[in-house]
A and B are shown apart, each in its own frame.
Chain A
């Protein structure tokens, strides 16, 4: 009898210990899956559409007083993107192919495409990866740092840590609106966690996908965190949801 009572006590004790742990673990799991879901939604508004989309980017930069402007046509599908330079005329015909996390540069005078890093500076504050690599949910491990209230909206502050060295940034602190589920701003951090670049997003464009109208990024402003006058503004125009053949994202087809 005593033995049974002792066994019952052990089971109750274990239950008392495991119940809160399982409840807490579940909460953590639910929270992290919510964050990933939130990231996926915000990624879609910045071009990460599974079925494909296209848009144009006008990239204006001011770097140490020197102004430059470039225009690109972007065709994206899932993890891949095909970016073609439209202007200025000296860059016309240059192509960047993003295939998964790899990136190539090609222009008609080259015999073969050149492998480039998405981290490399394209012009001004914009890195190569800023043009089309928008898959934060895929490329980074998210951790909810805190939430902040701004006006009548609540913002989730999420720390994103790179899953591989091929991605554009090592760490990003990303603010997502609870109301719109869109990324509002981002701080790009060094490996030591210090911000070196700031980005703000605007969503005045819209895109129709699956019969539904969804907001789409209209402007991304990148500012050097130390020298505020050094900045790049990416203006997104003509966003369209459209399907693209997989062949255009195959780097072997670029030279043909």
Chain B
């Protein structure tokens, strides 16, 4: 279980509920908002016993009105304000008693980030087939069940993509411009090297290597710098409440290694290729012009 499932499933909140259920099979966990509607103030597990006794009523799957006992225990939060007075966590058996069923219609699994959803779905499908149970499996990002999620993420990616293209354009122009000016300023140096016997290809290779070393060093320095800023922000304990979220959350900056690498590699290639071609073009100019060039 620990191999696949997210810490959310094994969070303190859920562990506390599991412990409470082991002691009392009628235990339920409600949100603070629902507690207010019921006239019960959190923390519920510290209320007098007669105030912790509640009844849960619902229409069963058979269409009959039904009710079961519940004992208020730990509280939980859904994270979303519009669900804060609608959520109840209760043992499966108690819920089945309330709805007069011995089955379940859907189960949500919260996976670790490192677990591939599609791979896990394949494993699950095989396991269920072995047991002869027919199930429909949906990834959380699928349009069938996660329209809100996929819509929101699509919108965010569109905005992110737009800004990425803008910044990318500015970066490309800056890098090409800086390297070109840097090499033009060193025209006399190129002329001198040519005069003492360096071939144009040797000079282009020299500038290529120089820029490779500098860009690798700078990218490394940049990653180190951003990591240290992220660590400083994460340790400062800044909290904020995003729109549509029930409680404040910590402000965290989590740099992704794959994202840093995917930006660094094209940047290094761009730097080196620019340096090679600008230097190569300069070496094609006559030696006298190179040596007498005012340099930018």
Q: Contact residues of A with B, CB < 8 Å?
A: 63, 66, 68, 70, 90-91, 105, 107, 109-112, 114, 116, 120-124, 128
Contact = CB atoms under 8 A, between A and B. Distances in A.
Given A68-B62, A116-B65, A105 B57 contact: yes
Given A105-B57, A110-B55, A91 B67 contact: no
Nearest to B97: A109
Contact of B69 (A90, A109, A124, A128): A109
Interface of B: 53, 55, 57, 59, 62-65, 67-69, 100
Chain B interface SS verdict (over half): strand
B39 to A, nearest CB: 13
A140 to B, nearest CB: 25
A114 B55 CA distance: 7
20 contacts: A66-B63, A68-B63, A70-B64, A90-B100, A91-B64, A105-B57, A105-B65, A109-B68, A110-B55, A110-B68, A111-B53, A111-B55, A111-B69, A112-B55, A114-B55, A114-B67, A120-B65, A121-B59, A123-B63, A124-B63
Given A112-B53, A114-B57, A63 B63 contact: yes
Contacts of B59: 121
Contact of B67 (A70, A107, A128): A107
Contacts of B63: 63, 66, 68, 123-124
Contact of A110 (B62, B64, B65, B69): B69
Contacts of B55: 110-112, 114
A111 B59 CA distance: 19
Given A70-B64, A111-B53, 13 more contacts: A66-B63, A68-B62, A90-B62, A90-B64, A105-B57, A109-B69, A111-B55, A111-B69, A112-B53, A114-B57, A120-B65, A121-B59, A122-B65
A128 B63 CA distance: 13
B64 to A, nearest CB: 6
Nearest to A111: B69
* Most chain B C-beta atoms within 10 Å of own C-beta, residue among A107, A109, A114, A128: A114
* Most chain B C-beta atoms within 10 Å of own C-beta, residue among A63, A68, A91: A91
Nearest to A85: B64
Contacts of A120: 65
Contacts of A128: 65
Contacts of A63: 63
Contacts of A66: 63
B62 to A, nearest CB: 7
A110 B53 contact: no
Nearest to A120: B65
* Most chain A C-beta atoms within 10 Å of own C-beta, residue among B55, B59, B65: B65
A137 B59 CA distance: 31
B65 to A, nearest CB: 6
B114 to A, nearest CB: 45
